[in-house]
Amino acid sequence: MPGSKDNPKDNLKDPWARFRSATRARIALGRSGDALPTKALLEFQLAHARARDAVHSAVDIDRLAADLAPLETIRVHSAAPDRPTYLRRPDLGRKLAADNAARLPAGEWDILFVVADGLSAAAVQVNAAPLVHACVARLGHLRIGPVVLAEQARVALGDEVAAALGARLVVLLVGERPGLSAAESLGAYLTWDPKPGRADSERNCISNIHADGLSIATAADKLCWLATEAARRKLTGVALKEDAPSLNGPDNQNNNQNNGRIGHDQ
């Protein structure tokens, strides 16, 4: 009988319970004979379905623009005409549609935010607008360009967009490839002096931004620290390493604030 003297192990608490409560990773699932328990199997199938949906779903651009208000937005499209083509032809997602570049008004911006749907519409729909607002609040002393909403877009598209608009630094927010423990994870890629042909080694990346990963506030702090350092050193990528404190304390709350414009000597 469960809980009887004949089965003393039944009286022991599950030693893995506290670990499972701290992570969405699939750990200590147990077993039923030679297979997974039914509950764990159904949860796995549900996570797989959510990951597929995240990849194939479309971002509601009108809703995203409304969530970003009162910030000005501009809409662009990659050279991939539809989702199936985008998934089969990554190269087309890295460049603008032929008629889009000419419609982008040139300016002089310190920083530009580009929101790309990427491989997870859910990530963009839930996390992009709050992160942009959090960053704008921290970087209000800078010349921030209009937020560009890019459909069927990959990371490198931000370089062409930022070059056309005249931005010194581009921050591209993109839905990350869904996993089985998180289908709504957002990534942020920073590139100094963006232009077509930039290599991935010339970017900095902040990933795993979602409710059960890196919080919006923490991601905004890290992103703005990197943006400030990129402006000071005039570079991004492997030569720019984050040494900001992991946790804010009374002595480092405002260490990384910069009241100058990105790209201008102080």
**CB atoms closer than 10 angstroms to residue 144:** 21
In tens, the pLDDT along 36-58 reads 888 888 988 888 888 787 788 88
Residue where the block lists tokens 């040139």: 106
Residue where the block lists tokens 């003297």: 5
Token pair of 167 as six digits:
């931005």
Nearest to 116 by CA among 43, 179, 191, 182: 191
Q: Domain locations in the chain?
A: 56-233
Cα-only R_g, the chain = 22
**CB atoms closer than 10 angstroms to residue 260:** 14
Nearest to 71 by CA among 5, 139, 25: 139
CATH number of the structural domain 56-233: 3.40.50.11240
In tens, the pLDDT along 72-122 reads 999 999 999 999 999 999 999 999 999 898 889 999 999 999 999 999 999
**CB atoms closer than 10 angstroms to residue 219:** 25
Residues 185 and 202: their CA atoms lie apart, in Å, by: 22
Q: Give the full edge-to-edge strand order of the sheet including 109-116.
A: 73-77, 147-151, 109-116, 167-175, 186-192, 203-209
- Does pTM top 0.85 for this prediction? no
Token pair of 265 as six digits:
């000597």
Q: Which residue has the higher pLDDT, 6 or 18?
A: 18
Q: What percent of the chain has pLDDT over 70?
A: 86
Q: Reduced to 3 states, what is the DSSP secondary structure of residue 225?
A: helix
Token pair of 178 as six digits:
């869904």
